[in-house]
């Protein structure tokens, strides 16, 4: 504590117009910057050791194993600031409706023995979803024709519909 001489703290606070609470708050030791940088460097070390596969929960648990009591919210804040958050996997979106009452056809091409050229061609039509600011839910169809014996691409076409 600073030397105050014969003046009481209350009198000093009256002379300099501040409250006693502010005086004591300024005397209270702030969380040292060294501790913050130590926690930050340990978090960075853990994240890089595990090739950024660890999220904030695992890093918080690892910090506790190493003897540092750190709140998970603080870990998230530091990781977000240092761009160390693990990349989140994209959610799998099912695009096929399998609950159909339609007949399932056999794959006849699997039974064929190819002995010459131009015996088996395969084609496929795929919808490619495109999104932009101007057209939020637009897409194109990709039509591909292949020669199966050599996987040679015979033809492809991209268009807004099947007929074009």
Q: How confident is the model at residue 137 (pLDDT cuts 50, 70, 90)?
A: low
Most confident range (mean pLDDT) of 15-19, 39-43, 110-114 is 39-43
Least confident of 82-86, 89-93, 132-136, 159-163: 132-136
pLDDT at 87: 79
The β-bridge relationship of strands 138-147 and 121-130 is antiparallel
Q: Name the DSSP letter for residue 110.
A: G
Return the closest-CA partner of residue 145 out of 124, 119, 116, 162.
124
Question: What pLDDT was estimated at residue 104?
Answer: 82
pTM of the model: 0.43
pLDDT for 133 beyond 80: no
Would the pLDDT of 164 be above 70?
no
Measure the CA–CA gap between 28 and 92, rounded to whole angstroms. Answer: 52
């Amino acid at each position: 504590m600073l030397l105050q001489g014969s003046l009481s703290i209350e009198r000093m606070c009256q002379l300099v117009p501040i409250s006693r609470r502010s005086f004591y708050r300024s005397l209270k030791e702030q969380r040292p910057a060294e501790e913050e940088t130590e926690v930050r460097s340990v978090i960075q070390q853990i994240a890089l050791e595990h090739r950024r596969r660890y999220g904030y929960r695992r890093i918080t648990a690892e910090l506790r194993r190493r003897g540092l009591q750190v709140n998970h919210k603080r870990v998230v804040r530091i990781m977000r600031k240092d761009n160390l958050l693990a990349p989140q996997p994209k959610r799998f979106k099912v695009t096929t409706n399998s609950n159909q009452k339609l007949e399932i056809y056999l794959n006849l091409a699997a039974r064929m023995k190819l002995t010459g050229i131009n015996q088996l061609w395969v084609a496929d039509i795929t919808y490619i979803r495109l999104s932009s600011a101007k057209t939020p839910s637009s897409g194109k169809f990709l039509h591909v024709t292949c020669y199966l014996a050599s996987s040679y691409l015979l033809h492809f076409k991209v268009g807004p519909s099947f007929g074009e």
